[in-house]
Homo-oligomer: A and B are copies of this chain.
């Protein structure tokens, strides 16, 4: 399942004119992707020009257009590659944990860390995904949904179990709660640099995230547990 990205890379690849590229073509495409990724570290998404990517890759703009219809498509290709890894990384601490008693808080900390670290590791690309999705680009919107969907589904399941076990009120809507928590996690993770810059240490942020999760119906594994 996690090789889906790989398969897409080697199977479906077509140059713009419909031909299947050979060894050299694939290498060029790869080089263009790498240069796009590199440039993204120093250039803002909107200032990313095809001509710059091409120059960085030591080739001409026309070559770029042979492999991608536009600059965004190259970014999308990079983003797609991230979805597999990301979905996995985010959902792991949720699934690995056993949501009983005190373990729940540890799980919440692990989840907060996973979000913060994943966004920190891929801040530039994640910013592009968030941005393009917000801007209404359906391709990036799907990408973002797919990335978060695995987590949201898993969180919904945990919440449903908590509710069935009587740890949360019957009116709690598991899916809505999961969406709200995912919003919190992804938004804080995406803005961690800015938040830190305005004086809140990342450590405190992580604790606050974990606490909010733990105190929500997600973390409650005891009918009379108190807020921490």
- Interface residues, chain A, with chain B CB atoms under 8 Å away: 44-46, 127, 130-131, 134-136, 141, 145, 167-169, 171-173, 175-177, 179-181, 183-184, 186-188, 190-191, 194-195, 198-201, 204-205, 207-209, 211-212, 215-217, 220, 223-228
Q: Is the CB of B187 within 8 A of A215?
A: no
**Additional pairs, 20, CB under 8 Å, beyond known A44-B135, A134-B134:** A44-B136, A46-B135, A168-B228, A175-B204, A179-B195, A179-B205, A180-B205, A181-B212, A183-B184, A183-B188, A183-B191, A186-B187, A212-B212, A215-B217, A215-B227, A216-B216, A216-B227, A217-B227, A224-B224, A225-B227
Q: Is the CB of A200 within 8 A of B216?
A: no
**Which B residues are in CB contact (< 8 Å) with A198?**
145
Q: Is the CB of B168 within 8 A of A180?
A: no
A208 vs B179: C-alpha distance when bound (angstroms):
9
A70 to chain B, nearest CB (A): 13
CB-contact partner of A208 in B127, B177, B204, under 8 A: B177
**Which B residues are in CB contact (< 8 Å) with A168?**
227-228
A179 to chain B, nearest CB (A): 6
Assuming A134-B134, A217-B211, is B176 touching A204 (CB within 8 A)? yes
Assuming A134-B134, A207-B171, is B184 touching A212 (CB within 8 A)? yes
A130 vs B190: C-alpha distance when bound (angstroms):
12
Q: Is the CB of A200 within 8 A of B176?
A: yes
A227 vs B212: C-alpha distance when bound (angstroms):
12
A-B pairs, 8 with minimum CB distance? A184-B184, A187-B187, A176-B204, A176-B208, A173-B204, A183-B187, A215-B215, A220-B227
